[in-house]
Amino acid sequence: MRVTAVTCVKNEAAFLLEWLAHHTAIGITDFLVLSNECDDGTDLMLDRLEQMGLLTHLRNDGPYDKGGIQWTGFKIADSHPLVRQADWLMTLDIDEFVNIHVGDHTIPALLAALPDADAITLTWRLFGNDGVIEYEDRPVTTQFTRAAPDIMTWPWRAFMFKTLFRNQGAYRKLGVHRPRAPVDGRVEATRWFDGSGRALDPAYQRGQIFSPFNRPNYDLVQLNHYPLGAMESFILKCDRGRVNRADHPIGMDYWCERNWCCVDDDTIRVTEAPRRAALANLMSDPTLAKLHQTAVEWRRERFQILMQDEANRALFGRLLMTPPARPIPLDAAQRIYKFAQIRRFSED
C-alpha cells in the first residue's frame, strides 16, 4: 500500500527532519515536497533527502497562479506519478503531525479500524505557545504539549481538518484541507468518516472543511497542529507570510485564535521511540546534520535582523502581553454562527 503525503515548504529546514521522521515512522510511504524561494537551505536539505531516496523534491519558484504558492504547488502535484500512483493521499503542512490512537498507531492501523472509509477527516488539535519565548532546537512534539480542549465551540478554524483519502478517481485535484473537483457519478459513493469513527453526512463528499463543533473528534486519530511555536519563531512566520493567501498577512488575529493551552496532551509520545530512531538515522548523515545546524543558526540570525524593525518589536511585545485563548460559552458561539447564517441567507 502506497500512502503519499504532499506538502509545500519555505524556510522550514530546522523542523523538516523531525516531521519527516515522524511520518515515516507511522507509515507514510512517499513524500512529494515542493519548495519555494528558500533562504535557510530547505531546498538543499530536500535535494539531499531526495538523493538518499527518502522523498521527491520539486522546486516551485514561480510564476504562481492566482491562488498563490500553495495552490500552484498542488496543481503541479496533481499530475505527478507519486500522486497518480498512490493508494491513499493527503496534504500536510510541516507544523502538522498525524497522531493515531488505535492499534500500533500507524496509518495501516487507522485504515484497518475504518475498513469502509474512502476518506477520513483528521481534525486539528491546536497546540499553543505555552509562554515559550526563545526558539530552541528541540522537537516540537515534546516542547509543546498544551492544547485546545476536546470540545470547541469557537473559532470554527479550530476544528478544521485535513483529509486522508483513497485515490480511486472520485476527485481530480488536491486541496489544502480536502480533495477537490469531485467527479459526478463517483463522489456520491465515497464514504467519509471522522476521527472518532463516525460516518459523516453527504456534505463532506463535496465541500465541507471543518468538523462538527461541540463534540470530540479524536477517538481514533487527531492532527496535532503546532502553528505558533516559540514567540521568536512566530516573528519569522509573520515575515514569511502565508503560502495560500498572500494578501492576508499573519498577525495577532492568527495568534489569538490558535494559542490554545487549556489541557495537557502528550499522546503523541506513544510514537516517540520510532520517531527518535528515524530522526537519529537522518541526523547520522553528515550533510543533513550540517544543513540542519545551518538552518538553526539562520533562524536565530534572522530573528535578530527582524527585531531591528519597530513593527516587529511591537508585535513581539504584544505576544508577551497577550494571554492564551480561552473557550467561549456555547450560547455566545451560537450567537456568532447565527449572524453568519443571517448574512448567508441575505446573500442568497
How is residue 115 written as a grid cell? 475498513
pLDDT of residue 268: 98
> Identity (one letter) of the amino acid at 212?
P
Contacts of 105-111 spanning 24+ positions with Cβ under 8 A: 105/26, 105/270, 105/271, 106/26, 106/27, 107/3, 107/26, 107/27, 107/28, 107/164, 108/1, 108/27, 110/164, 110/220, 110/221, 111/1
Query: What is the structure's pLDDT at 243?
Result: 59
Alpha carbon 141 to its chain centroid, in Å, reads 13
pLDDT of residue 348: 41
What average pLDDT score do residues 73-86 get?
96
Average pLDDT taken over every residue of the chain:
94
Residue type, 256: C
- Paired strand residues for 125: 224
Question: Above 60 in pLDDT, residue 91?
Answer: yes
User: Going by DSSP bridges, is the β-strand pair 119-126/192-193 parallel, antiparallel, or unpaired?
Assistant: parallel
C-alpha cell at 217: 473528534
Main-chain dihedrals φ then ψ at residue 257, nearest 5 degrees: -80, -10
Domain positions in the chain: 94-347
Instruction: Write down the pTM of the prediction.
Output: 0.95
Residue 346 has pLDDT above 50, yes or no: no
